[in-house]
Structure 1
Amino acid sequence: MIAADLPAQWPPSVELRRVEAAEARQGVVAGERELFAVSDRAIGRYDRSTGRRTGMWRAPPGSGISHVNSCILRARLLVCAVSNYPALPQRSHLLWIDADTLILRSARSLDGPGSLTFADWHADSWWVGYANYDGRGGMPGRDHRATLILRLSPDFVERQRFTLPATLLARIAPRSVSGGAWRGDWLLLTGHDRHEGFAVRLSPDGQRLVHVATVPLPTPGQAIAWDPGGHLWSIDRPRHALVESLAPPPLGTPR
């Protein structure tokens, strides 16, 4: 690897606020008026200004929903990435939950080359992350290096697949990618337990992901979200908190 390919180091993110949320186990969604705390089988909705919980979605009994990994808010629907981790073989699907009524509207199987951990909408495409692990929850014959990011059409047909840069894989081993959220032309990925995120961009030819920067985060991994004002939200899983922070733009340019 040449020096020009090494990722830059972001300045530390500046923590702005914490909101206590018992469901802050897997990820967070940040809208203009509300926050959503995501756990394996439940999602709590919180008033953004007061921090008061205003609603709760729970996985229906007998639904088989056991591991909600992350959600995004799109057109007043929570679109949630779900896996059966740590069961094998790996199974994944998406849920659409009404953000106002917290009623499950639909679901779609999205089995792929790993365990689905995030889905985001960017550039008229779905971008989804399939985690692979060295140990528990991993498929025989695959390890963290098999983690993939897929670009899908609006109707979920695969258009491209991307492996992760070696510099990023070295930081997430032996686990995988837990969260991913686009901001402008770069995607911020998070691992499972480190206090850092990884900014990646598409190479100029659009055929690979380039790790352009590593950012220190105030929280240890899991799914993240950008709010409409450009602030980053993450979770402090041990303390059951949603954390708002100010993260500067990534340094460096793709090569």
Structure 2
Amino acid sequence: MRFLLVTTILAGLTFGKVSYGQKAKELRRFQPQEVKQGVAVDESYFYVINNHSLTKHTKSDGKQVAAWNDTTGLLKHMNSGVVLGKKLYCTHSNYPDVPMASSIEIFDTGTLKHIGSHSFGLFPGSATWADFYQGHWWVCFANYSDKASAEGRDNRWTTLVKFTESWQQVEAWSFPANVLQAFSPKSSSGGTWGNDGLIYCTGHDKPELYVLKLPERGHTLHYVKTIPTISEGQAFAIDRSVKSKLILYGITRNDNYVVVSEID
């Protein structure tokens, strides 16, 4: 009983304002030719996202089966992606240019053909991740402390915005101070809703996953816990085809790995 009690306390040990709970166990990794921004995943494939290119790979062995490159010069900095049905939605911004402008670029998952775009135009932040949950779009618009002089804002201006399906803004929330400190001097690079109704997000560099939830009142997301990860910050994906486990696809950009891990 004493051992069980100590283990339970350690599992939820809180250091200051940061609570460390679960951990990640690596399952496998793949090394595509280039992995710089993030990864998205569906039932059979994962999709590597770079600034202005995409590659599609089998989940079984990482074999590349399709690729797409922007030949127009119109795309500058794709950040993350989420697969909904047969479409891959990628957030895109003009980072590091100012004033900040963003869009969502839409691709057919079968062919990786570009099939659509939604422009936010000039917006007080760069769109870094998006998800569709409970009938609404949720988009993170990042601000950066090391770019504060450009527009007079630091990463405290990072915001999660809720839109209707037809892109009408409904609500918005700021991020908690301890998570912003963990992001600093950058901002949130990846995020998604989990099957448990919690928000999972990453920063730019640290191998950590931050778990948040909507507040009962007020305008700031509520911090739940931090989960140490094997993959770095940057855009990640939760494999929603696996219902019984929390399977994470993340990246290590310096050596071009896609890392598959289980959060237990």
If the length of structure 1 is used for normalisation, what is the TM-score? 0.91
2:117 aligned with 1:101: no
> Which residue pairs with 1:251 in the alignment?
none
> In the alignment, which residue of structure 1 is the partner of 2:227?
215
1:134 positional shift: 1.6
Q: For the residues of structure 1 that align with 2:112 and 2:95, how far apart are their CA atoms?
A: 24
The aligned runs of 1:58-207 (5 Å cut-off) are: 58-62=69-73, 64-111=74-121, 112-136=123-147, 139-183=150-194, 184-205=196-217
User: Which ranges of structure 2 fall in alignment gaps of 5 or more residues?
Assistant: 1-13
Runs of 4+ in 1 over 6 A off after TM superposition: none
Q: Could you tell me the percent identity over the aligned residues?
A: 31
Q: In the TM superposition, what is the alpha-carbon distance from 1:21 to its structure 2 partner?
A: 1.5
Q: Give the drift of 1:20.
A: 1.1
What secondary structure sits across from 1:69 in the alignment?
strand
Task: Give secondary structure in 1 for the equivalent of 2:146.
Answer: coil
Letter in structure 2 aligned against 1:100: G
How far the C-alpha of 1:48 sits from its partner, in A, is: 1.1
Residue in 1 that maps onto 2:5: none
Backbone CA RMSD of aligned residues: 1.8
The one-letter amino acid paired with 1:211 is Y
From the superposition, tell whether residues 137 and 81 of structure 1 become closer, same or farther in structure 2 (CA, over 3 Å): farther
1:19 counterpart (3, 12, 30): 30
Match of 1:232 in 2: 248
CA distance in 2, matches of 1:91, 1:203: 28
Q: Supply the distance in 2 between the matched residues of 1:206 and 1:134 (Cα, whole angstroms).
A: 24
- Distance in 1 of aligned mates of 2:219 and 2:96: 31
1:246 aligns with 2:256: no
Aligned-pair CA distance for 1:113 = 1.6
Q: Tell me: CA distance 1:18–1:137, structure 2 relative to 1, closer, same or farther (3 Å).
A: farther
In the aligned structure 1, how far is the partner of 2:144 from the partner of 2:262? 30
SS at match of 1:65: coil
Change over 3 Å in CA distance of 1:13–1:106 after alignment to 2? same
Alpha-carbon distance between aligned partners in 2 of 1:27 and 1:138, rounded to the nearest angstrom: 27
- Secondary structure of the equivalent of 2:172? strand
The offset of 1:180, in angstroms, is 0.4
Structure 2 distance, partners of 1:186, 1:157, is: 23
Gaps of 5+ in 1: 249-255
- Number of aligned pairs? 245
Q: 2:51 aligns with which of 40, 44, 56?
A: 40
**Please, what TM-score do these two structures have when normalized by structure 2?**
0.88
Q: Distance in 2 between matches of 1:207 and 1:25?
A: 32
Report the Cα distance in structure 2 between the residues aligned to 1:136 and 1:13, rounded to whole angstroms. Answer: 32
